[in-house]
Amino acid sequence: MTTDTSLAEICTVKREDIPKTVTEELSDTERDELKSRVKQLLKEQNAVMVAHYYTDPDLQLIADATVGYVSDSLDMARFGNEAEADTLVVCGVKFMGETAKILNPEKRVLMPDLNADCSLDIGCPIKEFSEFCDQHPDRTVVVYANTSAAVKARSDWVVTSGSALDVINHLHAKGEKFIWAPDKYLGQYIQEQTGADMLLWQGACVVHEEFKAIELAELIKQHPDAKVLVHPESPASVIELADVVSSTTGIIKAAVELDAKEFIVATDKGIFHKMKEAAPDKIFIEAPTSGKSATCVSCAHCPWMAMNTLRKLVECLETGSGEILIDPELGKRARLPIQRLLDFAREQKQQSLLSGDA
Ligand code: SF4
């Protein structure tokens, strides 16, 4: 890995490697039977479900109706860590299951489909990433949660989109310089916001990369009173048009708190389920992923998140398939930078409570 071109090649997921988004076709009766079966199996096995906002609404409803949880990746990890259960069923993508296992080595962690990957994780292979880090030993290695256990183990800090700005600000104030991986758009955004010295890995999310600035500007003209909510994994040209740039949790919060009736939302459309639940009187419009400059791969829905289906959920609970296994030594090393984030987030929360900001 000697040039920028070769780095870009390593980071880019080939189109043919991106699965087609599948929708599970079920009758109402089948759906109800599967949901009941999941609830029964969760109870029998002392298992809890943690689901990401981008998964199918049926899965989110089951998690909410049982003692489970629906959230972003940081909160999923935190909840899994605190849950008193023998088994965690993680509905999301592989790095989320791995994070749950790293934090809970004594618990069984199941996923409906172990092929549910992430373009950011795929585009950051450990061998090349490790070589990159070795070339810059003076830099603090900060990686996004969307990475493999091995990449986490090579890092100093693991962050999420909701915590990245605070962590980099905190370390930048101490004079540290960074390697940031894998998402280049989120890295650029943080670099701009903090002024930190960051060397960026060149990965991208195939879902958020699809949002189109030209078409978004046209949509904003048609809805001049709408607030624009954008996830920072989106290209800079899209972020520039945002009223709020935030993590999934922050986007939902903004929809509830902002004094606007309409919102244009640039993130995976799976989030609309929770947004409508949280702010039922408001109107949510999908930001465009197609149009004049379109190359739509995913059309605002992650093809790997869509692999989490009701049938597969039942199957993993019935058969124990989809179990996440991590080498204990690797798990221990990967835990350190995640724990650093959890401790940092806890301290920040305490400080904001003390100062009355919360
Ligand atoms: S939406 Fe993007 S970042 Fe999230 S899991 Fe899918 S590919 Fe990865």
Q: What is the CATH number of the domain that holds 213?
A: 3.40.50.10800
Residue 259 within a domain: yes
Q: How far apart, in whole angstroms, are the C-alpha atoms of residue 67 and residue 49? A: 8
3-state secondary structure of 101: helix
Residue 292 within a domain: no
Kindly state whether residues 35 and 113 are assigned to the same domain: yes
C-beta of 205 in contact with ligand 1 (< 6 A): yes
Residue nearest to atom 6 of ligand 1 (CA): 302
User: To test ligand 1's pocket by mutation, which of 205, 211, 233, 248 has the most ligand atoms within 8 angstroms of CB?
Assistant: 205
C-beta of 302 in contact with ligand 1 (< 6 A): yes
C-beta of 143 in contact with ligand 1 (< 6 A): no
C-beta of 146 in contact with ligand 1 (< 6 A): yes
C-beta of 304 in contact with ligand 1 (< 6 A): yes
Residue 146 within a domain: yes
User: To test ligand 1's pocket by mutation, which of 56, 113, 208 has the most ligand atoms within 8 angstroms of CB?
Assistant: 208
Kindly state whether residues 158 and 172 are assigned to the same domain: yes
Sign of CA dihedral 26, 29, 32, 36: negative
Residue 357 within a domain: no
Kindly state whether residues 221 and 250 are assigned to the same domain: yes
Q: What pLDDT does residue 300 have?
A: 87
Residue 296 within a domain: no
Q: What pLDDT does residue 4 have?
A: 58
Q: What pLDDT does residue 127 have?
A: 96
Q: What pLDDT does residue 358 have?
A: 45
Which range marks the domain in which residue 228 is found?
208-286
* Cα 54 to ligand 1 centroid, rounded to whole Å: 9
Kindly state whether residues 102 and 240 are assigned to the same domain: no
Residue 295 within a domain: no
Residue 300 within a domain: no
* Cα 271 to ligand 1 centroid, rounded to whole Å: 13
Q: What pLDDT does residue 303 have?
A: 93
C-beta of 119 in contact with ligand 1 (< 6 A): yes
Q: Which of 245, 243, 250 is nearest to 224 (CA)?
A: 243
Atom of ligand 1 nearest to the CA of 208: 2
How do the pLDDT tens digits run along the chain, 358 residues long?
Answer: 545 568 888 898 888 888 888 788 899 999 999 999 999 999 999 999 999 999 999 999 999 999 999 998 878 878 888 889 999 999 999 999 999 999 999 999 999 999 999 999 999 999 999 999 999 999 999 999 999 999 999 999 999 988 999 999 999 999 999 999 999 999 999 999 999 999 999 999 999 999 999 999 999 999 999 999 999 999 999 999 999 999 999 999 999 999 999 999 999 999 999 999 999 999 999 999 875 454 445 578 999 999 999 999 999 999 999 999 999 999 999 999 999 998 998 888 887 766 655 4
Question: What's the structural domain count of the chain?
Answer: 3
- Angle formed by the axes of helices 57-65 and 28-44, nearest 10°: 40
Kindly state whether residues 108 and 57 are assigned to the same domain: yes
Biggest CA pair distance of the chain:
60
* Cα 206 to ligand 1 centroid, rounded to whole Å: 7
Residue nearest to atom 3 of ligand 1 (CA): 205
Atom of ligand 1 nearest to the CA of 304: 6
Q: What pLDDT does residue 5 have?
A: 60
Atom of ligand 1 nearest to the CA of 92: 5
Kindly state whether residues 109 and 165 are assigned to the same domain: no
Q: What pLDDT does residue 132 have?
A: 96
Kindly state whether residues 234 and 276 are assigned to the same domain: yes
Q: What pLDDT does residue 297 have?
A: 58
Residue nearest to atom 2 of ligand 1 (CA): 205
Decide if 247 contacts 162 (C-beta within 8 A): yes
Kindly state whether residues 9 and 131 are assigned to the same domain: yes
Kindly state whether residues 248 and 317 are assigned to the same domain: no
Q: What pLDDT does residue 3 have?
A: 53
Q: What pLDDT does residue 114 have?
A: 97
Kindly state whether residues 129 and 115 are assigned to the same domain: no
Decide if 300 contacts 281 (C-beta within 8 A): no
Q: How far apart, in whole angstroms, are the C-alpha atoms of residue 261 and residue 281? A: 8
Residue nearest to atom 7 of ligand 1 (CA): 118
Kindly state whether residues 138 and 76 are assigned to the same domain: no
Residue 291 within a domain: no
What's phi and psi for 218, nearest 5 deg? -65, -40
C-beta of 268 in contact with ligand 1 (< 6 A): yes
Atom of ligand 1 nearest to the CA of 303: 6
Q: What pLDDT does residue 73 have?
A: 81
Kindly state whether residues 192 and 213 are assigned to the same domain: no
Q: What pLDDT does residue 349 have?
A: 80
